[in-house]
Amino acid sequence: MGVFNQLRIWVLTICLVFQSGYGFYLPGSYPHKYGVGDDLWVKVNSLTSIDTEMPFSYYSLPFCTPDGGIKDSAENLGELLMGDRIENSPYRFNMYKNETEIFLCKSDPLSAEKFNILKDRIDEMYQVNLILDNLPAIRYTTKKEGYVLWWTGYPVGVKLQDVYYIFNHLKFNVLVHKYDETNVARVMGTGDAPDMIPSVGKTESNVPGYMVVGFEVIPCSVTHNVDSVKNLKKYGKYPTAVKCDPNTVSMPIKEGQPIVFTYEVTFEESDIKWPSRWDAYLKMEGSKVHWFSILNSLMVITFLAGIVLVIFLRTVRRDLTRYEELDKEAQAQMNEELSGWKLVVGDVFRTPTNPSLLCIMVGDGVQILGMAVVTILFAALGFMSPASRGTLVTGMLFFYMILGIAAGYVAVRLWRTIGGGDHNGWVSVSWKAACFFPGIAFLILTTLNFLLWGSHSTGAIPFSLFVILLLLWFCISVPLTLVGGYFGAKASPIEFPVRTNQIPREIPAQKYPSWLLVLGAGTLPFGTLFIELFFIMSSIWLGRVYYVFGFLFIVLILLVVVCAEVSLVLTYMHLCVEDWKWWWKSFFASGSVAIYIFLYSVNYLVFDLKSLSGPVSATLYLGYSLFMVVAIMLATGTVGFLSSFWFVHYLFSSVKLD
C-alpha cells in the first residue's frame, strides 16, 4: 500500500508540473490548499542570536505554552545537526478571518531566575523564529536612508536606558494567493506529510481555497491590565483595544510581576504565486555588489592563473622539444651537462616520508571534494532548496558516506603505487582512511557539544543522534571505504617511468626556504573565494539565506583549477632547484589556502561578530571554523597533489634520461 501511495504522489506531481501555468514544484515541496476558516497553526524554532552561536529553546523563556503540551515536529538529520528544534506554538489562525485583541495567556510572576534569563536573552539580541506553512516569519525595518531591511523572526525585547522591555503583542500579516487551479492535484493538510487528493467534480473546484505565500510579523511592547484578564480564557477577546506601534515600547519586565501576551492577525490577498513565495527571503542586500565582485574576482584570478600556466607550459614544452630534436650523440653530451629538474630523475619518485598518511589524506580529500561538487550541483539545480530545512546538511552526509568507496580506492591504489605494488596491508590503509577525517570531526564536535550541553543550548547534539551518527559511520561509511580499498588493491598500481637510485641525492642549499613558498602559494586560491566566503559566513552566522549556488559551483570549479595550477608551478620550481621532495609540498601548496581561510574567520569574528557574547560562544565559533578549514585543506591539498603527480609522471615519461 505504501508503494502504491508513493506512486500516486509521483503521478499527481507530474500532472501538477505539466498542467500548472506558472510554477514548477520539486518533489517534496507541495502547495497546501486551505479553505476559508481552516485552522493554521504556527510553529516555533529555537531562539537564535547574531551575538552568540548557542540557540536556546523557545520555552526556556516565560512564553505561553500550547494546549496539550509541547510537541516536537518531525525533523530530519540535517535540522538536528544545525540545532533546529521545531515545536508547536500556541498561535493559531483561521484562514482568511481577520482577528484583533486575541488574548493568549498570562505568565506566572517572574522569578529571579526567569527575570535574569530574560534580561540576558534581550542583551544578547535573541530572536524568536516562527514558522507558518514552512515559511519563516519575516520582519521589515525601514532605515532613515530610505532602504528597507528584512529579518527573519523578531527580537525577544529591547533595552532602553537600563530598562528592559519585552515584545508581548504580535501583529501578524498573512499573505495568501487564491487557489484557482482546476483539474490538478489538490494538496491538503497542515502537517509535514500532506495527503494528495485529486479534485473531482465541479463541487470541488467551486470551493474557495487559498495558499500561504507570505508571513510577516510586527512585534510590539504593550502595557496590559493584568486584572482585566483574570477570567479570560485562551483565545478570548481582550477587553480593550490594543494599539500596536512598533516605534514605541511600554511593557517593562519586572521581577515578581506577570506578563500578558496578546496578538492579532490580518489576511491580505497577494499576487505572489506559490512557487515565488520564497523570493522575499532570497533578496540579499547589496546583491549587485555581490554579483559584480564575484564576476570581477573570477575574471582577475582566471586571467592571472592563465598567464602563469601559459608561461609554465611553454617553458616545459620548449625543454622537451629541444631535447627530442637532438641526435643521440648530442643527447649523450647533453646528459653530461644536465641541470635543473633533469638532475633529480633518480630521486623524483623516491618514497616520501609518512607515505601512508599522505595516501589517507588524499583519499579523504577525494571524498570531501566529491561530496562538495555533487552537493553544490544538486543545490544549484534546485533539489536542495532553502525551503526544505536541513536538506543541504542531510545531502552532504549522504553523499559523503557513498563516496567512501572513492576514498578507499584512491588511498589504497596510491599506497600500492608508492609502495611498489605490494597489496599487503590494504585493509589497514582503508580503515585509517575511513576513520581519519571523521575521527577529527568527531573529536571537534564532541568537544563543542560538551560546551553546548554545559550551557543548556538546544544546539547541542542529542545523545541519540550521536548514536545514529556512529552507526552511520561504522555501518555504512566504513564498509563502503573498505569496499573501495578492495577494488584499489585489485587495480594495477601506476608504474613510474624512471628508476629510483639507491642513494638519495643531496638537495642543494636554497636561497629561500621552500616551505615559505608553499605557504605563500595559498594566497592565489584564497583570492578566488574570499568574496564568496563572506556571503557564506554571513548566511551561517548572521541568519541570512544563501541561495546563489550557481555562483558557488562556478567558484568551486575555478578554485579546483587554480589549486591545480598553483601546485604545478610550485612543483616545477622545486624540481628546477633540484629539490626532489615534492610530494608533501605539492599537497600543502594548494592546501595552505586553509590557513588564510582560518585567518579570515578570525578576522570575521573580530570585526563582523565583535559583539559575540562570552568565551564559550567564541570557542564554538573557532571550533566550527577549525572543522571547516580541515575539510578545505584536505580537499584543496588533494587537488594539488593529484595534479602535481600527473605532471611529474608526464614530465619524466616524455623524455628518457640515462
pLDDT tens profile 569-589: 888 888 888 888 899 999 999
Give CA–CA dist 364/155, Å, rounded: 42
More confident site: 304 or 123: 123
- The pLDDT, as a whole number, for residue 576 is 82
Average pLDDT over residues 623-627: 92
Highest mean pLDDT among 97-106, 443-452, 576-585: 97-106
pTM, whole model, 2 decimals?
Answer: 0.80
- Asked whether residue 7 carries a pLDDT value surpassing 50, the answer given is no
Given pLDDT bands bounded at 50, 70 and 90, which one contains residue 24?
very low
Cell triple for 402: 557513498
Residues above pLDDT 70, as percent of the chain: 76
* 138 φ/ψ angles, rounded to the nearest 5 degrees: -120, 145
What does the alpha-carbon distance between residue 385 and residue 378 come to, in Å, rounded to a whole number?
9
Query: Residue 132 pairs with which residues in a beta bridge?
Result: 135
pLDDT class for 51, splitting at 50, 70, 90? low
Distance between CA atoms of residues 162 and 571, nearest Å: 62
Q: Taking 80 as the threshold, does the pLDDT of residue 318 lie above it? A: no
Q: Which of 125-139, 413-427, 541-555, 641-655 has the lowest mean pLDDT?
A: 541-555
* Contacts of residue 363, Cβ cutoff 8 Å, sequence gap at least 6: 406, 407, 408, 409, 410, 411, 412, 414, 433
Please tell me the total number of residues recorded for the chain in this structure. 658
pLDDT above 90 (res 638):
yes
What integer pLDDT is reported at residue 337 of this predicted model? 45
Give the per-residue pLDDT at 565. Answer: 84
Q: Over range 235-256, report the average pLDDT.
A: 90
Q: Is the pLDDT of residue 117 over 80?
A: yes
* Per-residue pLDDT at 258: 93
Task: Give the span between the Cα atoms of 581 and 575, in whole angstroms.
Answer: 8
**What per-residue confidence (pLDDT) applies to 11?**
36
Mean pLDDT to the nearest integer, 57-80: 82
Flag whether pLDDT at 433 surpasses 60: yes
> The dihedral of CA 278, 284, 289, 295: what is its sign?
negative
Q: Is pLDDT at 307 greater than 70 in this prediction?
A: no
Which of the four pLDDT bands, split at 50, 70 and 90, describes residue 165?
Answer: very high
Whether 535 has a pLDDT exceeding 50, the answer reads: yes
Tell me, what's the pLDDT at 124? 83
**Alpha-carbon Rg for the chain in angstroms:** 30
Q: How confident is the model at residue 13 (pLDDT cuts 50, 70, 90)?
A: very low
Rounded to 5 degrees, φ, ψ at 176 are: -125, 150
pLDDT at 15: 38
Please give the share of the chain, as a percent, with pLDDT higher than 90. 36
Phi, psi of 221, rounded to the nearest 5 degrees? -110, 110
pLDDT of residue 543: 64
Across-strand partners of 498?
Answer: none
H or E element at residue 210? strand 209-220
Mean pLDDT of 116-142: 88
Tell which residue, 283, 229, 216, has the closest CA to residue 261: 229
- To the nearest 10 degrees (0 to 180), the angle between helices 287-324 and 549-576 is 30
First to last CA, the chain: 73
343 or 434, higher pLDDT: 434
Hey, where are the domains in the chain?
38-182+207-281, 285-314+522-657, 354-492
Q: What is the 3-state secondary structure (H, E, C) of 594-630?
A: HHHHHHHHHHHHHHCCCCCCHHHHHHHHHHHHHHHHH
Compute the 3-state secondary structure of the chain and give helix, strand, coil in percent, each to the nearest 5. 50, 15, 35
C-alpha cell at 563: 589549486
Lowest mean pLDDT among 230-234, 294-298, 545-549: 294-298
Phi, psi of 417 (to 5 degrees): -65, -45
| pLDDT, mean over the chain | 80
Closest CA to 114 of 263, 260, 262, 258: 258
Confidence of residue 336 (pLDDT cuts 50, 70, 90): very low
Is residue 652 within 8 A of residue 495, CB to CB? The reply is: no
CA distance 149 to 139: 8
> Which of 418-432, 498-512, 534-548, 549-563 comes out lowest in average pLDDT?
534-548
d(CA 528, CA 535): 14
Give Dmax (Cα) for the chain.
110
Least confident residue range of 215-224, 418-427, 598-607: 418-427
Residue (of 243, 260, 308) closest to 64 by Cα position = 260
